[in-house]
A and B are shown apart, each in its own frame.
Chain A
Amino acid sequence: MTGLLVIPPLTALILLALWRRPRLQAAVSLAGMLALLGAAAHLLQAVAPGGILVWAVGGWPAPLGIVLVADRLAAALVTVSTLVGVACVLAARSPHDDPARHPAWHPLVHLLMWGVCGAFCTGDLFNLFVWFEVMLMASFTLIALGGGRERLEGAVKYVAMNLVSSVLFLCGCGILYGVCGTLNMADLARIISAAGTPPAVQAAGGCLLAAFLLKSAAFPLFAWLPASYHTAAPATAALFSALLTKVGIYAVLRLTVTIMPLSGTLLQPILLWVALATMAVGVLGAATQMELKRILSFHIVSQVGYMLLSIAIGGATALAAAVFYLIHHILVKSNLFLIVGLAAAHGGAEDVRRLGGLRRFPLLYAGFLISAASLAGIPPFSGFFAKLATVRAAAEAGQWVAVAVALAVGFLTLYSMVKIHREAFAKEAPTTTVPLAGSSWATAAVLVLATGTVLIGLGAGPLWRWSLAVGSELAARTPYIDAVLGAAP
Chain B
Amino acid sequence: MSVLLAVLTGLLVAAGTWLVLKRRLLHLVLGIGLLGHAANLLVFAAGGLSESPAFAPGGTPLPGAADPLPQALVLTAIVIGFGATAFLLALAWRAFRTLGDDDLPGWSGSEPPLENDHSEPRP
Residues of chain B within 8 A (CB-CB) of A10 are: none
Residues of chain B within 8 A (CB-CB) of A288 are: 114-116
Residue of A nearest to B95 (CB): A152
- Complex CA gap A314/B94 in Å reads 45
Whether the Cβ atoms of B35 and A164 lie closer than 8 Å is yes
Could you tell me which residues of chain A, from 281 to 305, have a CB within 8 Å of some CB in chain B? 285, 288-291, 294, 297-298
Q: Is A306 an interface residue (CB 8 A)?
A: no
Whether the Cβ atoms of B84 and A166 lie closer than 8 Å is yes
| Number of A residues, CB within 8 Å of B | 54
Residues of chain A within 8 A (CB-CB) of B98 are: 147-149, 152
Instruction: Indicate the member of A141, A156, A294, A353 with the most B CB atoms within 10 Å.
Output: A156
Q: Mark A154-193, 1 if CB is under 8 A from B, else 0.
A: 1111011001101110110111011101000000000000
Instruction: Indicate the member of B54, B73, B111, B112 with the most A CB atoms within 10 Å.
Output: B112
Q: Is B43 an interface residue (CB 8 A)?
A: yes
- Complex CA gap A155/B90 in Å reads 12
Whether the Cβ atoms of B112 and A227 lie closer than 8 Å is yes
Whether the Cβ atoms of A226 and B112 lie closer than 8 Å is yes
Residues of chain B within 8 A (CB-CB) of A353 are: 121
Q: Is A477 an interface residue (CB 8 A)?
A: no
Residues of chain B within 8 A (CB-CB) of A179 are: 46
Whether the Cβ atoms of B39 and A167 lie closer than 8 Å is yes
Residue of B nearest to A159 (CB): B88
Q: Mark A126-145, 1 if CB is under 8 A from B, else 0.
A: 10011001001100110010
CB distance from A260 to the nearest CB of B (A): 17
- Complex CA gap A226/B112 in Å reads 7
Residues of chain B within 8 A (CB-CB) of A154 are: 110
Q: Is A81 an interface residue (CB 8 A)?
A: no
Could you tell me which residues of chain B, from 65 to 121, have a CB within 8 Å of some CB in chain A? 69-70, 73, 76-77, 80, 83-84, 87-88, 91-92, 94-95, 98-99, 107, 109-112, 114-116, 121
Q: Which B residues have a C-beta under 8 Å from some C-beta of A?
A: 20, 25, 28, 32, 35-36, 38-40, 42-47, 52, 54, 69-70, 73, 76-77, 80, 83-84, 87-88, 91-92, 94-95, 98-99, 107, 109-112, 114-116, 121-122
- Besides the contacts A163-B32, A164-B20, A174-B43, what 15 more A-B pairs have beta carbons closer than 8 Å? A64-B54, A130-B80, A148-B98, A149-B99, A156-B91, A156-B92, A164-B35, A170-B40, A170-B42, A174-B46, A174-B73, A177-B46, A177-B73, A178-B47, A228-B110
Please name the 3 residue pairs, one residue from A and one from B, whose CB atoms are nearest each other, closest first.
A174-B43, A178-B46, A351-B121
Q: Which A residues have a C-beta under 8 Å from some C-beta of B?
A: 64, 126, 129-130, 133, 136-137, 140-141, 144, 147-157, 159-160, 163-164, 166-168, 170-171, 173-175, 177-179, 181, 226-228, 230-231, 285, 288-291, 294, 297-298, 349, 351, 353-354
